[in-house]
Amino acid sequence: MSESLGKPTYEELLENVRRNSEYSELPGVEISMWPEDVSFYDDLSNQERFNEQFLEPAKGQPPEGGYLLYFLFGAWHNLGVIVLLHGLIFDIGTWGDFFIGCALFLLFPWLIFLALWWAAKVGGVRFNRQAQLVHIGMGPGKARTYAWRDVMPFMRSGIETSGRLELFLPIYPELYTRLSDKHFRSIHREPTGINATLDFRDHGPEGCMHRFEFYRRYMEQGLDAVQPDPDKLPSDLEIREPHLPMSRGPVLKVLHFLAGGPLIDWALRKRAEKFYWPEEVERLCAPGADLSGIDTTPVKPRADIFYRARGAHIDFVDAKGKTVSWN
């Protein structure tokens, strides 16, 4: 029956996301945050990551997954070594128990490391303001490009996060002509998704909404529109270059040492350095690029409705700040 349905549309795939209890939809690019609520805390002076042509949030940042590896090798792996040695020395358990323990305590961390090491060279994301495009790395010299106006923001909550910003973009069926409609639907249940967290302070409903407003304003107006305003920030909120993850506390410093953290960091960093953008993306991101044939018109938000972040809730207001209903 699914063969007759054809390949799913972007809206169908978005509906699958909306039905997932882990996701909460946020206002899209056509609605802006109430101006008086907007406040940013990012030092954007690093022009390799932040400039008038594009943003590249992950540029020069530690590869994701490092903290998981510190735990797996610093605690799980080392604890396993102690347990297995204890069993061998005191003749506890059977050889079957020993091999199961090897797989559980020793092999598992290495499998996770290999998966993260392989993924480290996939690449990052560029928000191309001058061309109004989003480029997603797909491996060294490879990328896919999407129109910014098609972005749909969601907050994802789950065991591993208190709420992080994820952006969804269309999947283009023409890239999968070899797949039958049925097979396409079985493997693509959601649109193309990216983790858009820029700083560890972005988590939670308000953090996600402020970060998406950061992207929305930048793509519409440029860097001047997303500069920090110290007068609107709490005195204890530091203005600094955004980075992930958060600083290491005492426990994590110990795990980092026990896990051989510097070697893990070096391996993932060297792997990530293998990524490079294709020539076409670099051309589109260059100052004064020829953008003929591309709709470079910034998305202008509506002037009659705004949203206000109220913890886990969203209020919609009109131009006078009066609460209104919106669907």
**Digit-coded pLDDT (tens) for 15-24:** 999 999 999 9
Asked if the structure places residue 256 within a domain, the reply is: no
pLDDT confidence of residue 103: 67
Mean pLDDT of 262-274: 86
Asked if the structure places residue 259 within a domain, the reply is: no
Asked if the structure places residue 281 within a domain, the reply is: yes
Is residue 184 pLDDT above 90, yes or no? no
- CA–CA dist 141, 257 (Å, integer): 35
The residue that leads in pLDDT, 107 or 327, is 107
Assign 264 a pLDDT band (cuts: 50, 70, 90): confident
Asked if the structure places residue 267 within a domain, the reply is: no
pLDDT confidence of residue 2: 43
CB 268 within 8 A of CB 117: yes
Q: What is the mean pLDDT of the chain?
A: 85
Mean pLDDT of 230-257: 77
Beta bridge partners of 32: 306
What is the domain extent for residue 203?
2-30+39-58+123-247+277-303
* Backbone angles phi and psi of 141, in degrees to 5: 75, 15
Looking at residue 136, its amino acid is: I
CA proximity to 320, closest of 27, 28, 36: 36
Asked if the structure places residue 218 within a domain, the reply is: yes
The residue that leads in pLDDT, 121 or 294, is 294
Asked if the structure places residue 109 within a domain, the reply is: no
The residue that leads in pLDDT, 171 or 85, is 171
pLDDT confidence of residue 182: 82
Is residue 138 pLDDT above 60, yes or no? yes
- CA–CA dist 111, 98 (Å, integer): 19
Mean pLDDT of 289-305: 95
93 token code pair: 């358990």
Cα separations in angstroms, 255 against 107, 109, 113, 261: 18, 14, 15, 8
Is residue 14 pLDDT above 60, yes or no? yes
pTM of the model: 0.84
Specify the range with the lowest mean pLDDT, choosing from 5-19, 93-107, 172-186. 93-107
CB 183 within 8 A of CB 173: no
Express as a percent the part of the chain with pLDDT over 90: 46
pLDDT confidence of residue 3: 45
Hey, what's the torsion of the CAs at 314, 319, 320, 322, to 10 degrees? -30
Tally the domains of the chain: 1
Assign 100 a pLDDT band (cuts: 50, 70, 90): low
CA proximity to 58, closest of 196, 167, 164: 196
- The helix (run of H) or strand (run of E) holding residue 4 is helix 2-5
pLDDT confidence of residue 200: 83
Mean pLDDT of 213-219: 97
pLDDT in tens, 24-81: 999 999 999 999 999 999 999 999 999 999 999 888 776 667 777 887 777 777 777 6
Is residue 174 pLDDT above 80, yes or no? no
pLDDT confidence of residue 147: 96
Asked if the structure places residue 297 within a domain, the reply is: yes
The residue that leads in pLDDT, 100 or 133, is 133
Pairing of strands 192-195, 23-25: unpaired
Cα separations in angstroms, 13 against 171, 188, 276: 9, 8, 30
Asked if the structure places residue 13 within a domain, the reply is: yes
- CA–CA dist 85, 326 (Å, integer): 63
Mean pLDDT of 195-212: 89
